[in-house]
Structure 1
Amino acid sequence: MSLNLHLLRLFTTVVRTGSFSRAADALHISQPAISKGVRDFELQVGCRLLDRTPKGVRPTREGQALARHAEALFAAERAAEDELLSLRNLDGGSLRIGASTTIATYMISDYLGTFHRKHPGIDLHLVIANTRDIADLMLAHDIEIALVEGPVEDDELESRAWRTDVMSLIVDPPHRFAGAKRGIEGAALCDETLIVREPGSGSREVVAQAMAAEGIEPRRTLEIGSTEAIKQAVAAGLGVAIVSSATISDQVTLGRLKVVQMRDLQIERTLWQLKVPGRIEIPAAAAFERIIWQDKPFAEVA
């Protein structure tokens, strides 16, 4: 059985958007045409692919399997189109980069600037998400470059150590730790509220593992979904946090945060590039990789 690729595209768009009307808008065709196309496709493959509910549509088990392969197929199609454009001395096309939050906010802008100056015809798209989400986007062929802050255990991905990042304990200036000129023992954190990122964050995982190894368990934790918001919460006296040193220079300079040394606990983490083994790399991705591995637009964080 040969799949009708036009009908496959209609079905995949419905799955991605969650409704026939949104799929019709995305493809610029009528909703009846979408509905008929999906019905014809289900007849062709011989099974129901979508469950239709009052709240929208969702794929059946068979639909989920087919959609997964379809996304990979259409990602390969986009990659072929991008490669054909970019083969002309990288004069056109696009590059989709995924980076976890700290990397995207504080570390990648100089690399993007270097790439843009060298290849101004390439459209850059930066996706910011936590480590697990970036890994999923890479597996789904939605991005060509993936830079993350935490280790990813996935047999379908290859992790390459990229940079080393030092983590620092920050407090507000009135905090009792702020005057400790010789630093503190890590055990002192057991009496504190530790402000942490959301589950799936690479920085949260690294800090949790380091503290668990030393038997340190904070009195309570406060979960906040961004490093910027964590810094503001610490400055407001809501607790202490352990964050990337690359993220704090502005607030330390302004006197809103203090860095406190931990005498017996030094937390460093490796930043990673994720790759899918065997995937054909478009030239724009290869050019960006050369920049992040060879060019050093700023000093290492370590």
Structure 2
Amino acid sequence: MNNPLSAYHIFYEVAKAGSFSKATNQLYISQPAISKSIQKLEDALHTRLFLRNSKGVRLTPEGQLLFQHLDTAFSAITSAETKLETLTRTDGGTLHIGVSTTLCKYLLLPYLSAFIREHPQINIRIRCQSSNETLKMLADDAIDIGLVGMPEHKTGFIYENLVEIEDIFVATSTYMSHLPQDMTSTREILEASTLMLLDKNNMTRQYIDDYLARNQIQTKDYIEISNMDLLIEFAKIGVGVACVIKNFVQEELADGQLQQIPLDIPIHKRDVGFAYKKTHLQNDALSCFLDFCRG
């Protein structure tokens, strides 16, 4: 999907309204456009989200799961926007940040929370999209800074590392027990499993595809999901083997909800950090933010 956040917003408003026609009043787009967006989302997630009837629509169990997570996410975004807009900002400038939804939730928000408390006069604007899109916006001067995986080609960017992340494969012990027990190699386990991966536009997915190709692992049965949180949730209910970032499932690994699948050849760890252009340092808000994160 070109704009998954927009598709999720449409799904969310339809679910709240209970019908496509009522949702048009909230979304200000036509009913056919809503129907098309929902169909594309269902196709991308390989599942049915709504059951249609003469009175409107109702959520399937899968749709209810998605709605619950989106309700939490959109409520948090609304709360953050309200707090940001109510703060008095006169001469602090504006900082435009690009970041994926996953990195925003797990890495950026803790920094932003403390930064805003110390610098309420700085106006923060966040654009959530894939890391690839963030780099493109940075190249086009549409944002001041991006939180991304370390770019393969850093020409034109300054990159400052923030944290090292590790990609792993996880599943429930119950799911693993249903696989043939004579399998011992990584290739055998992954090729016999239903793999759950991020969509192909995602930088993490591209990194994992390279790993699978180098090790000649054939993904015979896989599901594409555009959100790391949903990957984790689907893994927890035993849908299959999910490729996730270890840093973000520490709690699930510690309490046994998920188990890490040992790999014959480990996936190389990756760096995540801030990318920006030297020319953007003329923005005092960016310099202030970088100094805060370095400290």
Partner of 2:109: 109
Partner of 1:262: 263
Residues of 2 paired with 1:169 and 1:273: CA distance?
26
Give the 3-state SS of the residue equivalent to 1:175 in structure 2.
helix
Give the 3-state SS of the residue equivalent to 2:170 in structure 1.
strand
Residues of 1 paired with 2:282 and 2:218: CA distance?
44
Residues of 1 paired with 2:278 and 2:127: CA distance?
21
Q: Deviations over 1:201-247 (max 9, x none)?
A: 12112222222222222222211000011111212222212211122
CA contact (8 A) 1:169 1:241 kept: yes
Any unmatched runs of 5+ in structure 1?
1-85, 296-302
Relative distance call for 1:244 and 1:264 in structure 2 (3 A) is same
Relative distance call for 1:135 and 1:169 in structure 2 (3 A) is same
Task: Give the C-alpha shift of residue 287 in structure 1.
Answer: 1.4
**Which has a greater percent of helix?**
2
Residues of 2 paired with 1:194 and 1:245: CA distance?
16
Task: Give the C-alpha shift of residue 157 in structure 1.
Answer: 4.2
Give the 3-state SS of the residue equivalent to 2:219 in structure 1.
coil
Partner of 1:54: none
Give the 3-state SS of the residue equivalent to 1:108 in structure 2.
helix
CA contact (8 A) 1:170 1:234 kept: yes
Residues of 1 paired with 2:129 and 2:123: CA distance?
20
Residues of 2 paired with 1:215 and 1:253: CA distance?
31
Partner of 1:233: 234
Q: 1:104 is aligned with what amino acid?
A: C
More displaced, 281-290 or 245-254?
Answer: 245-254
Partner of 1:35: none
Residues of 2 paired with 1:163 and 1:177: CA distance?
34
Relative distance call for 1:162 and 1:209 in structure 2 (3 A) is farther
Task: Give the C-alpha shift of residue 177 in structure 1.
Answer: 6.6
Where does 1:76-115 land on structure 2 (aligned, <5 Å)?
92-115=92-115
Bigger Rg over Cα: 1
Q: Deviations over 1:230-274 (max 9, x none)?
A: 111212222212211122134335543222332432331121422
Give the 3-state SS of the residue equivalent to 1:261 in structure 2.
coil
CA contact (8 A) 2:100 2:131 kept: yes
Partner of 2:129: 129
CA contact (8 A) 1:131 1:149 kept: yes
Residues of 2 paired with 1:213 and 1:150: CA distance?
20
Give the 3-state SS of the residue equivalent to 1:267 in structure 2.
coil
Residues of 2 paired with 1:178 and 1:254: CA distance?
21
Percent identity, aligned pairs only, is 20
CA contact (8 A) 1:177 1:184 kept: no
Partner of 2:287: 286
Where does 1:142-161 land on structure 2 (aligned, <5 Å)?
142-149=142-149, 151=151, 153=153, 155-161=155-161
Residues of 2 paired with 1:94 and 1:229: CA distance?
32
Where does 1:132-281 land on structure 2 (aligned, <5 Å)?
132-149=132-149, 151=151, 153=153, 155-176=155-176, 185-188=185-188, 189-253=190-254, 255-281=256-282
Q: Deviations over 1:36-93 (max 9, x none)?
A: xxxxxxxxxxxxxxxxxxxxxxxxxxxxxxxxxxxxxxxxxxxxxxxxxx9x9xx522
Task: Give the C-alpha shift of residue 277 in structure 1.
Answer: 4.6
TM-score calculated relative to the size of structure 2? 0.60
TM-score calculated relative to the size of structure 1? 0.59
Task: Give the C-alpha shift of residue 97 in structure 1.
Answer: 1.2
Q: 1:106 is aligned with what amino acid?
A: Y
Q: 2:247 is aligned with what amino acid?
A: A
Any unmatched runs of 5+ in structure 2?
1-88
Relative distance call for 1:152 and 1:200 in structure 2 (3 A) is farther
Q: 1:258 is aligned with what amino acid?
A: Q
More displaced, 167-176 or 148-157?
Answer: 148-157
Find out whether 1:120 has 2:120 as its counterpart: yes
